[in-house]
Amino acid sequence: MDYTKGEWKAIQWNEDYGFNVFSDDGFVASVPMDKGLKHTMIEAKANALLISAAPDMYEACKQIKNYLLQRPAKTSELWELLTIVDKLTIKAEGKK
């Protein structure tokens, strides 16, 4: 899957408008804060931080999935975790 590599950072671009997410290569995403909605600056910041963590979480999910697939004994708990991680990677890759 191709996505912007490197560390992503959430940066507040104006105390009244929201956050932008940047990588080492530049702009990735914008998370605006709309005063007309109940979308608060706290929520905008939380959303921007989630977006900025997405590449790391995606890579972690892939590593966890590979680890679980290599386990010799698949207990119901392992299958449950594998199902969760598989759904997350499929969602991140836009496959379903």
Q: Are 48 and 21 in contact (CB under 8 A)?
A: yes
Q: Work out the pLDDT band at 94, boundaries 50, 70, 90.
A: very high
Q: Work out the pLDDT band at 5, boundaries 50, 70, 90.
A: confident
To which H or E segment does residue 52 belong? helix 41-70
pTM summary value = 0.83
- In this prediction, residue 37 carries a pLDDT of 65
Alpha-carbon distance of 39 to 31, in angstroms, equals 11
Identity of residue 75: T
- In this prediction, residue 87 carries a pLDDT of 94
pLDDT, tens digit (0-9, with 9 covering 90-100), for 17-68 = 889 999 999 999 999 887 666 668 888 899 999 999 999 999 999 999 999 9
To which H or E segment does residue 33 belong? none
Q: Which residues contact 10 (CB under 8 A, 6 or more apart)?
A: 19, 20, 21, 31, 45, 48, 49, 51, 52
- In this prediction, residue 22 carries a pLDDT of 96
